[in-house]
Chain A
Amino acid sequence: MSTTQSSRREADIPRWLLIAATYTIVGIMLILPPVLVVAEALRNGFGTALTTLADPDALSAIRLTVTMTLASVVINTVFGVLAAWLIAKYRFPLRGVLTALIEMPVSVSPVVAGLVWLLLFGTQGWWGQALDRIGVHIAFAPPGILLATLFVTFPFVARTLLPLMEQQGRDDEDAAMLLGASFWQILWQVTLPNVRWALLSGVLLTTARAMGEFGAVSVVSGHIPGLTETMPLHIETLYNGYQSVAAFSMATLLAAMAMATVGLRSFFEARARNAVIHGQDA
């Protein structure tokens, strides 16, 4: 088969075979699943799907997910910016170790990310019983869910900012310093504007991961409907309870939220890449 655009020959393997393979892989692996989520949700009509989302437990799960996501994003963004600033702008002993520690949660299984908090705050944990006695409940309560989410989404802001900040060096910051700017002035008016698209991208990645986190939250939550169930956990409860339509309606909502966030991120990431001379993958 002759190629159309260029005279470059690709391979002996016929081009059409590779193209057919591409569409097959995309169709089976990437198109069928999302179509199925929506189809299962709408199996009994749009009205039914909406009704299941208005269930009190469903609403409480949505509320908890939104709260936990917002809290994790705010906290991890503040500390992520400071960590990236520290590592990118200064040279100090054990800088590499600190970078590795910040990256660490990426390589941890979600279940392990939940387990570690039970080791500290669970009934058999180091401080669990002592805290229980003074009325502080962390495991099987929203604070535990927050800690698990914070752990899982810990590296994303710093990780997205670091390559860009290192690339930009600190000439701008040094200039601002010589002009008498304070730390917060330099951070707000020099550094952050320079990395604003990357920061937004990191924040959105944190958001998407925080709202979808399942394994870590599942271990620390205790699965109390209406109290400690986030959207992913409620999906599991509904699905295991054979409430397929309700499960997939919630799944549609959650997936739409996560995909909108990720889609927004790709958009901003393209802008971030254009903002740098040599595009670097964050």
Chain B
Amino acid sequence: MTEVADVSFALPRGRRPADPLPGFRIALVATLFWTGLIVVLPLAALIMRPWQEGIGAMTAALQDSRMFAALRISFVSAFIAALIDVPLGVILAWALVRARLPGRRIIDALIDLPFAIPTAVTGITLATLYGPQGWLGAPLAHLGISIAYTATGIVVALMFVGLPFIVRSVEPVLRDLPPEFEEAAGLLGARPRQVVTRVVLPALLPATVTGFGLAFARGIGEYGSVIFIAGNQPFHSEIAPLLIVVRLQEFDYPGATSIAFILLVASSLCLMGIAWLRRRVARGMVAGAAP
């Protein structure tokens, strides 16, 4: 990044030297207006609304066991899905970078598919695919495994949604990892397994954690791809975003808002953690600097 030039000498008056580049005021006014209207105002409503009905309504909303069940299901499913995605994503990243597979370009394009497909399409597709009569659901049902309309279905949907985050976080780091590292380790007598566990995987760790965090943060708020395949039974397979919708249909605004608030705080914390990790990595380490 180029340093912004100090051009304060050009300005003879004013308490603080103003920036001579024209357009500051119009850009500032437009940005503040727009951010205020579309982001700050609605989020302010979200933060202030729960207290509007008084502290009683708020504590009542927070004593809802169905809400905690839904939050637990969302968090646990997102965690498990992101965790399973880690090895899958690392393998795919390896295949893209190191293995000269036939169809590598097609695989590369397919990785972004879960980003590209609208969530509602993902939802009905996975529900049909893993449903009792589905291409994968029917054979699995023979083995006594049911995925659609259970809590497992939630994990399957979140795995699909989260996979690209891991691949796209790990891939650039693996690409930038100089092969000399591995060769040097090999020359120094490391066995191939040691090269992977002591050299390659540690270098990929920050990027993997980043990808995991992104997939997890996305997973706890995910709605469209999940609701069709999840059974949506309270306490068993009802995710937190769905419970928000249910509460809204019951006109229970405090209930809906308190769930929304918890989800917002959780995913913000998650993304702040990732930003912190990235800054640390960018500052402190040679390999594994995620972009």
Number of interface residues of B (CB under 8 A): 98
Tell me which residues from 209 to 230 in chain A have a Cβ below 8 Å from any Cβ of chain B: 211-215, 218-219
Other-chain residue from B4, B88, B116, B182 in contact with A169 (beta carbon distance below 8 A): B4
Report the Cα distance A258→B19, complex, angstroms: 42
Number of interface residues of A (CB under 8 A): 103
Report the Cα distance A239→B229, complex, angstroms: 12
Tell me which residues from 173 to 195 in chain A have a Cβ below 8 Å from any Cβ of chain B: 173-174, 177, 182-184, 186-187
A-B contact number at CB 8 A: 297
Other-chain residue from A167, A169, A232 in contact with B118 (beta carbon distance below 8 A): A232
Report the Cα distance A120→B42, complex, angstroms: 7
Q: Does A200 contact B (CB under 8 A)?
A: no
Residues of chain A having any CB pair with chain B under 8 Å:
5, 8-13, 15, 18-19, 21-22, 25-26, 28-34, 36-37, 40, 79, 82-83, 85-87, 89-92, 98, 101-102, 104-112, 115-120, 122-126, 147, 150-151, 154, 166-171, 173-174, 177, 182-184, 186-187, 208, 211-215, 218-219, 231-233, 235-236, 239, 244, 247-248, 251, 254-255, 258-259, 261-263, 266, 280-281
* Nearest 5 A/B pairs, CB to CB: A169-B2, A109-B221, A212-B118, A183-B23, A116-B42
A-B contact pairs, 30 of them (CB 8 A): A9-B186, A12-B196, A22-B99, A25-B91, A29-B163, A30-B111, A33-B126, A36-B135, A40-B128, A82-B30, A82-B34, A85-B23, A89-B4, A89-B21, A101-B39, A105-B38, A106-B271, A107-B268, A109-B263, A110-B241, A118-B248, A122-B253, A182-B22, A211-B118, A213-B118, A214-B123, A218-B245, A236-B124, A254-B121, A255-B118
Residues of chain B having any CB pair with chain A under 8 Å:
1-5, 7, 19-24, 26-28, 30-32, 34-35, 38-43, 45-46, 49, 88, 91-92, 94-95, 98-101, 107, 109-126, 128-129, 135-136, 159-160, 163, 172, 179, 182-183, 186, 191-193, 195-196, 217, 220-224, 228, 241-242, 244-245, 248, 251, 253, 256-257, 260, 263-264, 267-268, 270-271, 291
